[in-house]
Amino acid sequence: MDAIASRIIKARQYAAERDQRIHVISFEVRIDGENANHQVSYNRGKWGCDCEESMRRGICAHIMAMEEIMGDTVEPAMTAA
Ligand SMILES: [Zn+2]
């Protein structure tokens, strides 16, 4: 097997085993909301969002949406209200 073919196979394997292999360190995204856009950030297990609910409760729909998208690659957001 040549180097390119084995690289492709390895890449597919990593992607398929993402829940065990992929661990997100940090990211920043913009969510286009109904009324405004919001910026969600994640850094080594710490979640943040610039919306009012997140400021008050530490969790919001924007963070929860990103949690769902990122699955097991991220730490769960604090749910204690
Ligand atoms: Zn938010």
> pLDDT per residue over 17-64, tens digit each?
988 999 999 999 999 988 899 999 999 999 999 999 999 999 999 999
Q: Which amino acid is at 16?
A: A
Find the 75 Cα to ligand 1 centroid distance in Å. Answer: 17
Residue 80 scores a pLDDT above 70:
no
Confidence at 79, pLDDT banded by 50, 70, 90: low
Number of structural domains (the chain) is: 1
Q: Is residue 79 part of a domain?
A: no
Q: Is residue 80 part of a domain?
A: no
Domain containing residue 20:
3-73
pLDDT of the residue at 1: 75
Q: Is residue 9 part of a domain?
A: yes
Q: Is residue 41 part of a domain?
A: yes
pTM of the model: 0.83
Find the 50 Cα to ligand 1 centroid distance in Å. Answer: 6
Q: Is residue 78 part of a domain?
A: no
Q: Is residue 81 part of a domain?
A: no
Find the 5 Cα to ligand 1 centroid distance in Å. Answer: 43
Residue 4 scores a pLDDT above 50:
yes
pLDDT of the residue at 78: 76
